[in-house]
Amino acid sequence: MAAEKLALAKAITESLRTAMENDPKVIVMGEDVGKLGGVFRVTDGLQKDFGERRVIDTPLAESGIVGTAIGLALRGYRPVVEIQFDGFVFPAYDQIVTQLAKMHARALGKIKLPVVVRIPYGGGIGAVEHHSESPEALFAHVAGLKVVSPSNASDAYWMMQQAIQSDDPVIFFEPKRRYWDRAEVERESIPGPLHKARVVREGTDVSLVAYGPMVKTCLEAAEAAAAEGKSVEVVDLRSMSPIDFDTVQATTEKTGRLVVVHEAPVFLGTGAEIAARITERSFYHLEAPVLRVGGYHVPYPPARLEDEYLPGLDRVLDAVDRSLAY
Amino acid sequence: MTAKKAPARAAAPATAKSAAKAPARRGSAAKTPATARKAKAAPAKKAPAAPVPAAPADEPELVQLLTPEGVRVPHPEYDRWVEDITADELRGFYRDMVLTRRFDAEATSLQRQGELGLWPSLLGQEAAQIGSGRALRPDDYVFPTYREHGVAWCRGVDPTLLLGMFRGVNNGGWDPTSNNFHLYTIVIGSQALHATGYAMGIGLDGADSAVVAYFGDGASSQGDVAEAFTFSAVYNAPTLFFCQNNQWAISEPTERQTRVPLYQRARGYGFPGVRVDGNDVLAVLAVTRAALAHIRSGQGPMLVEAFTYRMGAHTTSDDPTRYRADDERQAWEAKDPIERLRAHLLAEGLADEAFFASLEEESEAMGRSVREAIRAMPDPDRLAIFENAYADGSSLVDEERAQFEEYQASFADVSAGEGE
């Protein structure tokens, strides 16, 4: 069967639809997810097809959304909740960290918390404050949570299915500036496990590791570098917790050089963890220190300055050059 | 019907009792900080006419069926909810309360002896917990805070399971689904939302079970409790919010949590609230039964405020003598829930000395068995650290477990060598 081209947002919609068709216990909750179909229209049409009992518009209360999803999960449901924007997850952070992440362990494994928290995240869309942040490291640091982010429509389709099927809580970061990017979605077979990183471009000189919105940027950087005669390998991490270090180690030992790219602040971020672990694992294979490209340790800037803050093609290429210069 | 005014409030330390005083202090201090102390003592009439509504002059009536002296008083609305209660059942409630208090006292002693790291005593709240717990059906679900030892007893939870987390051998330690009694929740008020979600699920299932969220007067200030009220109300969820107002949130009095009686908050969310004498097990039973009937009939949530008193410390780490007066506790001792029912049983000839003597024996035996059980409670296996972090497993946990095992094995080799 020929694969169809879908926008990333639409691929998630289709994934939710498939999951709801397959399992009557899957329910969708959040602010404006019903009639409106979500502010990004990711849940568009679901309430019409599945009704108000399975696609639930909630009060404007993020802690309430996650807290009640926990109760619904305890009752046997598999809630998929939408947090409208990244910066709005913090009222629910307490419920996610103190309750959702720990309840399975506190019950000695007797209960499961299959809750998916969807968070459109990241910048590049000219939004006002609290609408452009990348808080994934704050969640990845918490044991008990799984933290993932797709970078393309096909992955988004499959990773959402897998997140819903997981018996663990999954924080599902959706790269909002890639929502409208279209790609082929092969619906017939699962391409791979949820937490497996993937080499998305082969290369021999430098490895770039990225996830979510930065994968596309890194692929563009690799293309530009190729024009300059440099062979850049690009790895889509896909999961920030757990991290597939084996794949990152393999690419590092292949090229001898590693650059980690994400929108989130570099300080204490996902890149810091990768740099530390890969340095432990592959010290004698490294031709250069592991470099990081990302946001600064400042509040996310106003929209007119976000291009200065976000890693773009030039900053990624600059890091590639610095790595090669060692 | 005898007077049901909430008693002993006047005996509380004069905190924010006067509505007019607080703004006066703030207003004066803001203007001239140097004279703040003087201004504090100034009469209230000097206060600027702040647009702050006065607190209600009188505490509202609370539902009571047994006076502190143990006299059964009629109630036009709630008598019918307990008219079926037999003498045997009354003795059963008495036994529940005595054994719960004995268990609690034993746990407090065990903490003093170093067997438990911490213990939150329920002393004084036995009637609120037994009265509400005995109103539940097996298919109802309970979301407790961390002091509901009496409710756990009513749910048939092995009392020694409650001790594990306070001993430090686990962080919860039981299967919530085996008795429909969720894990204790330490973060104040979080469980009100879990209860609400569970209740929403009951609604989606079309069942007629109910969910009870226990919380305290301090938790009523938390956003999660407010959000739980909102969610339960708008989804018509079968949630019973059972607030044990024990007057103190560690050192903060109820006056620091609210300007209106707590049960009245429900009205603002669109569901009924009622205040019951939390030291009267019969009244708590009646009010909880009525509330559950209301909820099961599909009319949405209810709030019950059990007006009671924490006779002990917040936990064994707390020193209530720093913030509350002795005479306050003495006033509440006169309303002791166990003494009240005992007086009633004796006055009505519903129990004899043999009953009390045999219960005394049972109570001592329980203390012994709890003591023995906890002393026999082993530390968990080292590898338990890595168990159940994830239901589906995690490569990171696997990696760290392997490192830990390797590290531990390095010690085992050394000691084995030394031993030979």
| Interface contact B332, partner A, CB < 8 A | no
Residues of B in contact with A73 (CB under 8 A): 197
Same domain, A161 and A74: yes
- Backbone angles phi and psi of B211, in degrees to 5: -125, 140
In this structure, what CATH number is given to the domain that contains residue A48? 3.40.50.970
Choose the final residue of a domain: A130, A150, A185.
A185
- Domain that residue A223 falls in: 198-325
Reported as a single tens digit per residue, the pLDDT across A106-126 is 999 999 999 999 999 999 999
Residue in A91, A95, A108 nearest the CB of B170: A108
In this structure, what CATH number is given to the domain that contains residue A275? 3.40.50.920
User: Mapping DSSP to helix (H, G, I), strand (E, B) and coil, where does residue B11 land?
Assistant: coil
Reported as a single tens digit per residue, the pLDDT across B174-206 is 999 999 999 999 999 999 999 999 999 999 999
Same domain, A172 and A37: yes
Find residues 140-179 of chain A whose CB sits inside 8 Å of chain B. Answer: 143-144, 146, 166-168
Percent of chain A with pLDDT over 90: 97
Same domain, A222 and A299: yes
For residue B72, what is the DSSP state?
B
Choose the final residue of a domain: A185, A211, A240.
A185
Same domain, A20 and A101: yes
- CB contacts < 8 A (A, B): 156
Same domain, A26 and A96: yes
Cα–Cα distance between A108 and A120 in angstroms, integer?
Answer: 32
Please report the pLDDT score of residue A4 as a whole number.
Answer: 83
Is residue A190 in some structural domain? Answer: no
- Backbone angles phi and psi of B415, in degrees to 5: -65, -35
Is residue A104 in some structural domain? Answer: yes
Same domain, A120 and A263: no
Identify which of B298, B263, B217 has the alpha carbon closest to the alpha carbon of residue B62: B263
Domains: count for chain A: 2
Is residue A192 in some structural domain? Answer: no
Residue of chain A whose alpha carbon sits nearest to that of B184: A106
Cα separations in angstroms, A282 against A246, A289, B270: 11, 11, 62
Cα separations in angstroms, A211 against A86, A155, B405: 16, 11, 32
Residues of B in contact with A98 (CB under 8 A): 187, 190
Same domain, A10 and A147: yes
Reported as a single tens digit per residue, the pLDDT across B302-343 is 999 999 999 999 999 999 999 998 899 999 999 999 999 999
A303 burial type by CB count under 10 A (0-12 exposed, 13-18 middle, 19+ buried): middle
B415: pLDDT strictly greater than 90: no
User: Mapping DSSP to helix (H, G, I), strand (E, B) and coil, where does residue A134 land?
Assistant: coil
Choose the final residue of a domain: A153, A185, A217.
A185
Residues of B in contact with A60 (CB under 8 A): none
Residue range A29-36: mean pLDDT, rounded: 97
Same domain, A242 and A311: yes
User: Mapping DSSP to helix (H, G, I), strand (E, B) and coil, where does residue A293 land?
Assistant: strand
| Interface contact A187, partner B, CB < 8 A | no
When pLDDT is cut at 50, 70 and 90, the band that residue B42 belongs to is: very low
Cα–Cα distance between A10 and A221 in angstroms, integer?
Answer: 27
Residue in B143, B227, B388 nearest the CB of A108: B388
Average pLDDT, chain B: 88
Same domain, A131 and A265: no
Reported as a single tens digit per residue, the pLDDT across A118-157 is 999 999 999 999 999 999 999 999 999 999 999 999 999 9
When pLDDT is cut at 50, 70 and 90, the band that residue B17 belongs to is: very low
Cα–Cα distance between B189 and B212 in angstroms, integer?
Answer: 13
Residues of A in contact with B211 (CB under 8 A): 71
Is residue A166 in some structural domain? Answer: yes
Residue in B174, B193, B204 nearest the CB of A64: B193
Residue of chain A whose alpha carbon sits nearest to that of B165: A106
| Interface contact A64, partner B, CB < 8 A | yes
| Best mutation target, A27, A52, A74, to test chain B (most B CBs within 10 A) | A74
Are residues B391 and A69, on separate chains, in Cβ contact within 8 Å?
no
Is residue A172 in some structural domain? Answer: yes
Residue range B131-138: mean pLDDT, rounded: 98
ipTM above 0.85, yes or no: yes
| Interface contact B199, partner A, CB < 8 A | yes
The amino acid that residue B338 corresponds to is I
Same domain, A181 and A204: no
Structural tokens at position B287: 């009010």
Same domain, A134 and A168: yes
Reported as a single tens digit per residue, the pLDDT across A147-201 is 999 999 999 999 999 999 999 999 999 999 999 999 999 888 888 999 999 999 9
Structural tokens at position B59: 């505490």
Is residue A215 in some structural domain? Answer: yes
User: Mapping DSSP to helix (H, G, I), strand (E, B) and coil, where does residue A55 land?
Assistant: strand
Same domain, A19 and A143: yes
A143 burial type by CB count under 10 A (0-12 exposed, 13-18 middle, 19+ buried): middle
Is residue A108 in some structural domain? Answer: yes
| Interface contact A76, partner B, CB < 8 A | yes
**Given CA atoms A147, A149, A155, A157 in this order, what sign does their dihedral have?**
positive
Residue of chain B whose alpha carbon sits nearest to that of A104: B388
Residue of chain B whose alpha carbon sits nearest to that of A58: B231
Is residue A179 in some structural domain? Answer: yes
When pLDDT is cut at 50, 70 and 90, the band that residue B400 belongs to is: very high
Are residues A110 and B177, on separate chains, in Cβ contact within 8 Å?
yes
